[in-house]
Structure 1
Amino acid sequence: MSLPRPLTPEQCAFFRDEGYLIIPDVFDPQDLEPVRQALHREIAAKALELKAQGKLENLHEDLAFDYRLAAIQKDSAENSVAIMRHLEGLRGGGFHAVELFDLIAHKKLLAKVGSLLATEEIVASSVYRVRPKLPNSGRGIVPWHQDSGYFAEHCDTQMIITCWVPLVDATVENGCMQILPRVHRGKVAKHHTGGNAGFLVIKDEDLPDDPQKAITAACPRGGVVFMTNRTPHCSTPNTSDHIRWSMDLRFQSAETPSNVGLEPTALNEQGEADAAFYDKVSIACYPPEADFLVASKRTPELVTDYSNYARRRELYDRTKSDFSAYRRWRQEAPATV
């Protein structure tokens, strides 16, 4: 069965020229309801755990998904941070329910991604970010960066597409992204460590263009913001009364370096794999996380299902890794936002 509704040649040309593309109707809003509800259940479960530990009193069970975590934060910043860290996880940890996998592998999304990559052989990354940007909280503000700042240097000239999927209408008020267009064909800018919440950051003097030329990437629920890995972007404060929920998903051509099919044969008690595994997997653009084949016309039998996705994600999480090809920025840290 062919993928539904590919992008038009004009839309693909805009993406190539500008470095981003906003499509307001990739999904029906109802398509996003399963992952919204799964996140809501995960919040409820963690809140019950915190209550059992005597750390949380009011579960705020009467509040909807867009408001509940914000109410918990108002009672206790410590509890809200604990829940956000539980959702975000570290590498293979965090929220990785089947509803999330179904979003990554959604045919409506893959049709658009395949158009931009000009291929039906698509690899997805198990790297994703759950973005609960709470009202009036500095933690959700993401400084200027390029996603390539997080990737191995040998992938600087590759095309890796970030799909930013808002689970609510993303507006200026609730902290949508800012994007610098038309500079993605240049080099990866100098990044610094130590930014807000541990993010990498490009200082203003190192930005490839004037930040005043940034466009505001407002996007309705059901839409997607597509960006290249070299497109500078940042995220602004949420001044609304509700949470700006979003997901970052990542895709690339099967021809781009990845670790698809690579696994350690065994791990020792310290979670270390054999040296041969690290040598092989270091070719990936982001070696610490498991890549997987998500669409293929050539070898459909190798497309990953949820159980294998979850298994590989957890396996990589257990693997203690130090990849020589993985980019490390060692400049002095800027002031925290």
Structure 2
Amino acid sequence: MRLTVEQIITYQTEGYLIVPDVLSADDLQPVIDEIGREIDDRARKLKAEGKLQALYEDEPFEKRYASLYRDCREIGRGLDIMTYLGEAMFRHLGSDKLLDVVECLLGSELSCNPIQHLRAKLPKKYAGDEPDYFQNVPWHQDCAVTSPDSEASEIITFWMPLVDATAETGCMEVMPRVFKQGYLDHRAEGGTMIDPDKLPEAEPVLAECTKGSLVIMNKYTPHRGIGNRSDIVRWSIDLRYHKTGANSGREFQPSFPVRSASDPASVLTDAEEWRRLWQSVKDEKGRKLHRV
């Protein structure tokens, strides 16, 4: 899939774009299956340690994790792309269907940015006493979690849900056109958030997005996550890409080429090498990941 001229203009004007049906259910199923296996492995280990009584094996992907988390929050400790390092997820980072869209905005020399996350937004009824910002992610810009020396880099967020992201399941809200103001001061309280005194007066837009679709955002676009009022987990993948050779905003973490017209051999295709790159920087104590 290629973006139309109209879609590119919309992104460049509004600072965000929702692109429907980029990936099919079949495209996403290997990633979903892999996440399911990781959760199952964790659950069985916790049960063997006496920390879980039930495995909830009959529950579907959209619900099982919530039941396990309710019984033992340890199930979610360190559950992220760069910690479980799955083969299917690695292949997904370099998906041709995804990169065809990325190329329309960044050109043909593309690197996967190291800021990448797997997120499970629980139904509110299962969240218990977890901090409110887990449900209601405060207004922020993605550039706030990059180093200031990457200001010149065009780092674009590609956010995709693994279930339908709606007002009920907890989609995002975005502020159109505000990206033109550049970086806004942030605070490190209740999660990294735009200083309320600097929050622009803009009418938010609900960024509902179906499974397999994308929400693309400029790094200066303010956005927030709303609470999950449904009975399913709102799973999503948050990826970022930048032009190869540009500052990634996380120079101590691995970015790597995923597409190159000038040097195809430079593209990383070995999942074991990807794992090695991440494992070599596992100790991040003392490193500042956010600007504030």
TM-score of the aligned structures, taking structure 2 as reference length: 0.92
8 Å Cα contact 2:148-2:291 kept in structure 1: no
Does residue 1:234 correspond to 2:224, yes or no? yes
Give the residue type in structure 2 aligned to 1:214: P
Decide which of 189, 196, 214 is 1:204's aligned counterpart.
Answer: 196
8 Å Cα contact 2:257-2:268 kept in structure 1: yes
Give the residue type in structure 1 aligned to 2:44: L
8 Å Cα contact 2:68-2:75 kept in structure 1: no
Decide which of 96, 107, 110 is 1:122's aligned counterpart.
Answer: 110
- The answer for the alignment partner of 1:131 in structure 2 is 119
Per-residue CA distance 1:140-191 (angstroms, 9 max, x = gap): 4311110111111122243111110100011100100000110112121111
Does residue 1:16 correspond to 2:16, yes or no? no
Shift of 1:319: 6.3
The 1:65/1:181 distance shift into structure 2, 3 A limit, reads same
Decide which of 298, 302, 305 is 2:262's aligned counterpart.
Answer: 298
TM-score of the aligned structures, taking structure 1 as reference length: 0.80
Shift of 1:247: 0.5
The separation in 2 between residues aligned to 1:310 and 1:150, in whole angstroms, is: 22
The separation in 2 between residues aligned to 1:160 and 1:328, in whole angstroms, is: 16
The 1:214/1:314 distance shift into structure 2, 3 A limit, reads same
Does residue 1:328 correspond to 2:286, yes or no? no
8 Å Cα contact 1:128-1:250 kept in structure 2: yes
The separation in 1 between residues aligned to 2:137 and 2:287, in whole angstroms, is: 26
Give the residue type in structure 2 aligned to 1:12: I
The separation in 1 between residues aligned to 2:148 and 2:290, in whole angstroms, is: 6
Per-residue CA distance 1:213-247 (angstroms, 9 max, x = gap): 11001000010100111111100000001110001
1:254-265 alignment runs, 5 A limit? 254-258=244-248
8 Å Cα contact 1:288-1:321 kept in structure 2: no
1:1-337 alignment runs, 5 A limit? 5-74=1-70, 76=71, 79=72, 81-88=73-80, 92=82, 94-117=83-106, 119-136=107-124, 137=127, 138=132, 139-195=134-190, 199-210=191-202, 213-258=203-248, 285-305=249-269, 306-318=271-283, 322=287, 328-329=291-292
Shift of 1:320: 5.7
8 Å Cα contact 1:146-1:233 kept in structure 2: yes
Shift of 1:56: 0.6
Per-residue CA distance 1:89-143 (angstroms, 9 max, x = gap): 7xx4x222011111110000000001011x1000102331111000003424311
RMSD: 1.7
The separation in 2 between residues aligned to 1:298 and 1:21, in whole angstroms, is: 28
The separation in 2 between residues aligned to 1:242 and 1:125, in whole angstroms, is: 29
The separation in 2 between residues aligned to 1:328 and 1:240, in whole angstroms, is: 33
The separation in 1 between residues aligned to 2:287 and 2:67, in whole angstroms, is: 39
The separation in 2 between residues aligned to 1:182 and 1:317, in whole angstroms, is: 37
Q: Which runs of 5+ in 2 are unaligned?
A: none
Give the residue type in structure 2 aligned to 1:62: D
Give the residue type in structure 2 aligned to 1:112: V
Give the residue type in structure 2 aligned to 1:149: A
Q: Which runs of 5+ in 1 are unaligned?
A: 259-284, 330-337
The separation in 2 between residues aligned to 1:234 and 1:56, in whole angstroms, is: 33
Structure possessing the higher radius of gyration over alpha carbons: 1
The separation in 2 between residues aligned to 1:293 and 1:9, in whole angstroms, is: 26
The separation in 2 between residues aligned to 1:68 and 1:322, in whole angstroms, is: 34
Give the residue type in structure 1 aligned to 2:14: E
The separation in 2 between residues aligned to 1:226 and 1:182, in whole angstroms, is: 14
